[in-house]
Structure 1
Amino acid sequence: MRFHSLATTCLLAFSSTSIGETIPPNHILWGEQGPPTTLHRRQATPSPTSTRVADSACTNGPLTRQCWSNGFNAATDFDKKWPNTGKTVTYSLEITNGTCNPDGNGAKPCQLFNNQYPGPVISANWGDWIEVTVKNSMQANGTGIHWHGIRMLNNCPNDGVPGITECPLAPADTKVYRFQATQFGTTWYHSHFSSQYGEGAFGALVINGPASANYDIDLGPYVLNDLYYPTSWQMGLIAFNNLQLGRPPPPANNIIVNGTNKNAGNTTGSYNKVKLTKGKKYRLRLINASTDNNIRVSLDNHPFLVINSDLVPIKPYVTNWVLLAVGQRYDVVITANQTVGDYWFRADVASECASSNANRGLSIFTYDGAPGNDPTTSPFTKPTNGCVDESPLVPWVPNTVDQTAFMNQVGNLQVDLHREQVTTNGQNLVFWGINLTAINVDWDEPTLQYVADKNTSYPRVFNLIEIPNQNTWSYWIIQETPGTLVPIPHPIHLHGHDFYVLGARGGSTFNISSDPQTLQWQNPPRRDTAILPGRGWLAIAFPSDNPGAWLMHCHIAWHVADGLAVQFLESKDQAPLGDANWQKTCANWNQYALNPTYPKSDSGLKLL
């Protein structure tokens, strides 16, 4: 069985791989310096204007959004400390088979939380514990709920990834997820089981806390997602067949804005409407919960003041358009200072990111006193900088990434560009993969069960990389292999951590001699989802300070279903393991899996 040891610096080759050639051993090596050095994460000197001094009188309000309470504020390093409110907020989610009709085109099969599309908003305050009881009332599907971007510090069994951190929840079974909100900001939750999130099994998760700019009113989460009229299973199969021919998946049928839109014929459906009062400032929490579409958004005549990227407060900057890759979030402040009237909010497919859609997302922002009609406003000019992450993303709490270990390792990094082929039913099939392996998890025996059993014979298809030492830096160059059959950007998401984005470049291979000098070590962007440019590379770093099994994957659902993922097994001897209820969930699943209605047909992680 082949599995990876830790390479403090490693190049992950993202490639469209045919399943068959032998992978050469030891293609990830230690450098001459041996194992990684101890973690040194230095906090840079805060800006003197970053916030008022935190004290017991620092409370959050329209003119003091940087404050929170009890000495905590936007300048608090939430990796090191957070409030402990002593409060637990509880929610119940029931996932069912149902129908939805978000754009008036006609009812289609959906899988829904509490019969809502999107699912209900889960909200808590910074430092609260969140407890969610999930009941699986579907007739013929397991499930598992992932809390996107939540760090889950020392709490890996609650990350919600069937085959890695848990067994799926069997039909008619119930389980409780419990975690603390050590971060604050905007994120979302979704099924991480097969096709469910593409069928509507997702919703917003808001953790109230301080902010890096003032505003009067919080409008709450604004969820954007692509909509396909066929089922996600059907679309996944079409996308997979197209991949065999080097073709993109079919375009989505619509972009849904906060649960609704008109269809492409503009004959049925409705636009979401948001009321504004002239002179007020509004916080809007943007979430891209799409299956495939990266989306660019704007509000006519109203620039955005961007204050958060993912769950990280940033130094505010002004822009007219914001690009959200799949899985990303941005919080923006809108100032209602225009002529009283009706204005289009636009959610356009980002074609520069190889996304396609038959329609555009629209909603209406209307001032008090305006007629509330369809607007006649014109859009801002779109940027022409291609499919790249927003910039500048300067974290409000500055940190410096230690580069010493990276430089010691980079000279000996081995980059393998081979393809891997497997014969299935007499055919050679093409899959997305990382390091020449398409991940394929085992729902019946997740990675954490291997850890509990002290079984290190991980199947090769687990695509598992061990990070054995705690409190070290882990650096990764993620490279889309030159000559990849379908060279497109990928939104890369990491569980269990934020990562620091040291650099990215499209259309080039990482040059081990010269590119390290271009990386950003002083307060680089920090987030949980970033764009790997097409034909290019993405350099990230994160500290190994959270024991457990953590998935890193492309958040385009077709791609992770085909295998474009890797899992990091971090400090396994310190990893928290499942309790008796966790084991009961596995026992119930394994009993159900003896005769499942729909056998597993993909990586098991999402879509197809």
Structure 2
Amino acid sequence: MIQFVFLILIPCLVIGLCVGLIKPTHAPGSIEPSWRLDTQTNYTIDIGYWDTHDTPQDRHYYFNISKITNVSPDGIERNMTLINGAYPGPLMEANSGDVLYIHVLNELDEPTTIHCHGLFFSKESYNDGASSINQCPIPGDGGEYTYRIHIDEDQWGTYWYHSHYGAQQADGIFGPIVIHSEQERKILNTTYDEDVVVMVNDYYQDMANVYMAEYLGPDNENTEPVPDDGLIQGSNSYEYNPDTYVASDGSSRNITYKESYISDLKFHKDKTYRVRLINAGYFAQLNFAIDEHKLKVIEADGTNTEPLELESVDLSVAQRYSFILEPPKGTLTQYWMRARFNTFCFNTDNSNLNPEFHAIVRYNDGNTTLPESESWPYNGGDVRCRDLDQSLLKTLGSTVPLQANGSTRPDVSVDLEVSFQIGAYQLDRGYFNDMTWKPLVNSSTMTELALNPGNNSLRTLSPKALESKNSDQYLLNFDQRGQIVDLIINNYDDGAHPFHMHGHKFWVLMVNDRGYFQEDFYDQGSSPMNFQNPILRDTVSIPGFGYGVIRFVVDNPGVWPFHCHIGWHMESGLLLQINELQDEYSRLEFPETWKNLCVSQ
């Protein structure tokens, strides 16, 4: 339930050239609008409860998805698509071993889905939530569906959920997931007093379809719409100037501006915090820091890591990091939390955008002055649009799978060439090799392969070719449980791509921003690849004109999308599907409610 929050007017102040004019404003005693989620409460985790409730149980969450008009997370009024009428979406929590139920009521005038990003879905792969791949979408105008997801005993950490239909994520359908585990607490051997989620995202000041029509239109050579703003905990205070503001469609449409504010995070000086940082954006890479605080990273995408102390962290869309935050020494009681977009990742300028945005960390409840803290040095962003150097991250307590004889080579390797190409009607689309993805109509890949295994246009059970390329669906078929697979990703595009694999985590054996992969890299003597404890995660960024090698094991029956997590790129077709152990998932007992989703289209 959204709680009302009383806020006090905070005066304006110019804090140097980088910070600019910041107006965290609310009239004294004003009531927080009901559509704004109370993240101070909702994103603060009750550690005591989860430490004492380890017995597996069912966890039920109820999502009413609808459109809402005239809301203003940053002061510019627009319409949005929200969960339970609130922005951002609520925190979902469970323990390893629990069964998570998400009851969805779709009151939109279009279909929707919910994907729990990073979860394995090892018992219910059909509930992964990728529209036209794992399921037909939930119809609009009152359509209902319940996702049942069994959380694996060996899965824990920081995740998030979002719509996997069209561009609905950019319009507000997303929120955090935290999976607790006694086993994780033992592995970490790290104590902290409080546990909080921080959601950071890029933000567009109009409905995403307004931008999407131009982006997917003729003569646009992958010039992605640049965000208008950035939000922390769903909020920012945008500096609106009616004389210079340009609407998303280039028109002079009427803009309604309402006072807004930057988020305050209430901390305590005598406590140590675990902060779970999530980049829930649609496009932009960013740098995150808290003035005068070191960030001791202990988790990346749900994987525990050897502690790594940083002043700031660069993360691409869909990536997550947990870090331990200790109160700094000194007399200050409030500090700037800073997020900065890497503008080198943008192909064009947006005159509306201030690339740096903020929240405030307060170690006292009563003081409402603006911070006077000093920023860590910042170089303005990496010109090659690289995120955090992945070789700095070491997985804690686990090693890369190798062949029985100790060979570092995989059982199967697949070369993937990533590009954008202009095809019919001057449309620029994203490609893996020679294939660009388009969603199936009135069906899904899993529906076709599981329910019609010998009579479909995508792939039959025999012959068992590694690749299938039919009906705009590019499938990599793996039918042998336990196979070790390497994907060698060659990025021939000038932009970086954060690639995400559903249903798995993968080992990041190497990422390089130039050159080409060589077979002798598998030779252990002088290999630049890490075959010991590289990071095991579900999203990795491959820089422009660079390459990377990732490894996973064939052990999770299902149809798993592998795609760029920049929303504009996925909509333009930069997606393939890993068809894994088709014989096994075809024997699942698919719920009638799942089958009926395709019938109702």
Range into which the TM-score falls when normalised by the shorter chain: 0.7 to 0.9
Q: Which residue of 2 aligns with 1:37?
A: none
In the TM superposition, 1:309-458 aligns within 5 A as 309-338=300-329, 339-354=331-346, 358-359=353-354, 360-368=356-364, 371-382=367-378, 387-391=386-390, 392-402=392-402, 407=409, 422-423=423-424, 427-451=425-449, 452-454=451-453, 455-458=455-458
SS at match of 1:563: coil
In the TM superposition, 1:181-260 aligns within 5 A as 181-182=151-152, 183-209=155-181, 210-211=184-185, 212=188, 214-241=190-217, 244-246=219-221, 248-260=223-235
2:288 to 285, 293, 297: 297
Distance (whole Å) between structure 1 residues aligned to residue 52 and residue 398 of structure 2: 21
Question: Contact 1:112–1:200 (CA<8 Å) still a contact in 2?
Answer: yes
Q: Which residue of 2 aligns with 1:508?
A: 515
Q: Identity over aligned residues, as a percent? A: 26
Q: Which residue of 2 aligns with 1:536?
A: 546
Q: Which residue of 1 aligns with 2:597?
A: 585
Distance (whole Å) between structure 2 residues aligned to residue 467 and residue 114 of structure 1: 40
Q: What amino acid is the match of 1:124?
A: A
Q: Which residue of 2 aligns with 1:53?
A: none
Structure 2: gaps (5+ residues): 1-45, 242-257, 459-469
1:68-126 superposed Cα distances (whole Å, 9 cap, x missing partner) = 789xxxxxxxxxxxx7x331011100100113634443321111000011111111122
Q: What amino acid is the match of 2:61?
A: Y
Q: Which residue of 1 aligns with 2:12?
A: none
Q: Which residue of 2 aligns with 1:165?
A: 134
Question: Contact 1:464–1:567 (CA<8 Å) still a contact in 2?
Answer: yes
Q: What amino acid is the match of 1:561?
A: E
Q: What amino acid is the match of 1:327?
A: A
Question: Contact 2:193–2:271 (CA<8 Å) still a contact in 1?
Answer: yes
Distance (whole Å) between structure 1 residues aligned to residue 375 and residue 174 of structure 2: 29
1:118 corresponds to 2:91: no
Q: What amino acid is the match of 1:465?
A: L
Q: Which residue of 2 aligns with 1:473?
A: 484
Q: What amino acid is the match of 1:264?
A: E
Kindly state the Cα deviation for residue 350 of structure 1 after the two structures are TM-superposed.
2.0
Residue correspondences, number: 505
In the TM superposition, 1:483-562 aligns within 5 A as 484=493, 487-514=494-521, 517-562=527-572
Give TM-score scaled by structure 2 length.
0.78
Q: Which residue of 2 aligns with 1:94?
A: 64
SS at match of 2:158: strand
Q: Which residue of 2 aligns with 1:147?
A: 116
1:232-266 superposed Cα distances (whole Å, 9 cap, x missing partner) = 01112233348x44363232111110011110349
Q: Which residue of 2 aligns with 1:280?
A: 271
Q: Which residue of 1 aligns with 2:239?
A: 264
Distance (whole Å) between structure 2 residues aligned to residue 281 and residue 529 of structure 1: 28
Which stretch shifts more, 273-282 or 189-198?
273-282
1:277-303 superposed Cα distances (whole Å, 9 cap, x missing partner) = 213111111111101111110000111
Distance (whole Å) between structure 1 residues aligned to residue 400 and residue 554 of structure 2: 15
Distance (whole Å) between structure 2 residues aligned to residue 432 and residue 134 of structure 1: 31
Question: Contact 1:157–1:577 (CA<8 Å) still a contact in 2?
Answer: no
1:273–1:417 distance in 2 versus 1, CA, 3 Å:
closer
Distance (whole Å) between structure 2 residues aligned to residue 126 and residue 571 of structure 1: 24
Distance (whole Å) between structure 2 residues aligned to residue 187 and residue 122 of structure 1: 10
1:308-339 superposed Cα distances (whole Å, 9 cap, x missing partner) = 10111111111010112100111111111332
Distance (whole Å) between structure 2 residues aligned to residue 105 and residue 525 of structure 1: 39
Q: Which residue of 1 aligns with 2:150?
A: 180
In the TM superposition, 1:597-608 aligns within 5 A as none
1:514-556 superposed Cα distances (whole Å, 9 cap, x missing partner) = 5763211111210000111111111001000001100010000
Distance (whole Å) between structure 2 residues aligned to residue 417 and residue 199 of structure 1: 27
Kindly state the Cα deviation for residue 405 of structure 1 after the two structures are TM-superposed.
7.1
Kindly state the Cα deviation for residue 586 of structure 1 after the two structures are TM-superposed.
1.9
SS at match of 2:278: strand
Q: What amino acid is the match of 1:499?
A: F
1:24-53 superposed Cα distances (whole Å, 9 cap, x missing partner) = xxxxxxxxxxxxxxxxxxxxxxxxxxxxxx
Give TM-score scaled by structure 1 length.
0.77
Question: Contact 2:201–2:279 (CA<8 Å) still a contact in 1?
Answer: yes
Distance (whole Å) between structure 2 residues aligned to residue 168 and residue 336 of structure 1: 46
Kindly state the Cα deviation for residue 215 of structure 1 after the two structures are TM-superposed.
4.0
Q: What amino acid is the match of 1:429?
A: L
1:157-188 superposed Cα distances (whole Å, 9 cap, x missing partner) = 11011111111101111111111222111111
Question: Contact 1:225–1:257 (CA<8 Å) still a contact in 2?
Answer: yes
**Higher RCO structure, 1 or 2 (CA under 8 Å, sep 6+):** 1
Question: Contact 2:299–2:321 (CA<8 Å) still a contact in 1?
Answer: yes
Structure 1: gaps (5+ residues): 1-60, 71-82, 591-608
SS at match of 1:518: coil
SS at match of 1:340: coil
Distance (whole Å) between structure 2 residues aligned to residue 123 and residue 390 of structure 1: 30
Distance (whole Å) between structure 2 residues aligned to residue 193 and residue 538 of structure 1: 28
